[in-house]
Amino acid sequence: MQRNRRLLIIIAGVILLFSILLDQVRQHAKPEQVSPAAGASASPLFAASFPDIHGKTQPLEQWRNQVIIVNFWASWCPPCREEMPELSALHAKYQSRGLTVLGISTDDAATMQQFASTSPVSYPLLAGDMEGTRLAEMLGNNRSVLPFTVILRRDGSLVTTYFGRINTEMLEQAFLPLL
């Protein structure tokens, strides 16, 4: 009897802990739009190069002079995976008008490539690993939050950043005037 009681207490504790953690994840998954920090610059972005899904190093400089949505993500991040179909649809719809979506994974190249083989998108995926995390910090991710999204004008200046999961409507409001 005593043993069953302990087991029930442990199970109740685990359920309570799980519900608290789930609530925390949901709170962090809500997007928060913020203006770029004063003096924030996209120059580190255009100086970076990362491997793509085929292992070929891609210099980010090649996307200069386009409106860019840079989405920092990881394969283990549920909100990151949830927003990828919307980002893919936006890239496909507006690419001809000068919009590029770039997905920079904080995973290593092998993990990112494995994920991409089962979850293809229309936009370039790059494996940033720890350098990708540092780049996100330089662009304003001072909270180490994923997903983290940055929008840049054609001149390379930062427009806005988002902490957490984004959606089509909020992104279109930010980038359509720039096309």
pLDDT-derived band at 1 (thresholds 50, 70, 90) equals low
pLDDT in tens, 75-117: 999 999 999 999 999 999 999 999 999 999 999 999 999 999 9
**Residue 7 shares a structural domain with residue 89:** no
* pTM for this prediction: 0.82
Residue 149: the pLDDT is 97
Residue 3: the pLDDT is 74
pLDDT in tens, 32-55: 776 665 556 788 999 999 999 999
**CA 164, CA 80: separation in Å to the nearest integer?**
8
Asked if the model's pLDDT at residue 168 lies above 70, the reply is: yes
**Residue 114 shares a structural domain with residue 170:** yes
CB 159 within 8 A of CB 83: no
Residue 17: the pLDDT is 57
Residues 28-35: what's their mean pLDDT?
A: 64
Asked if the model's pLDDT at residue 27 lies above 50, the reply is: no
What's the domain count of the chain?
A: 2
**Residue 46 shares a structural domain with residue 12:** no
**Residue 71 shares a structural domain with residue 125:** yes
**Residue 73 shares a structural domain with residue 144:** yes
pLDDT in tens, 134-164: 999 999 999 999 999 999 999 999 999 999 9
**Residue 18 shares a structural domain with residue 99:** no
* Domain ranges, residue 37: 32-178
Which residues sit opposite 179 in a β-bridge? Answer: none
**Residue 86 shares a structural domain with residue 166:** yes
Q: Which residues contact 148 (CB under 8 A, 6 or more apart)?
A: 71, 72, 136, 139, 140, 141, 161, 162, 163
**Both tokens assigned to 52:** 């793509």
What one-character-per-residue DSSP string does the chain give? -HHHHHHHHHHHHHHHHHHHHHHHHHHHHS-EEEPPPTT--SHHHHH-EEEBTTS-EEEGGGGTTSEEEEEEE-TT-HHHHHHHHHHHHHHHHHGGGTEEEEEEESS-HHHHHHHHHHS--SS-EEE-HHHHHHHHHHTT-TT--SSEEEEE-TTS-EEEEEES---HHHHHHHHGGG-
CB 71 within 8 A of CB 147: yes
Cβ neighbour number for residue 92 with a 10 Å cutoff: 14
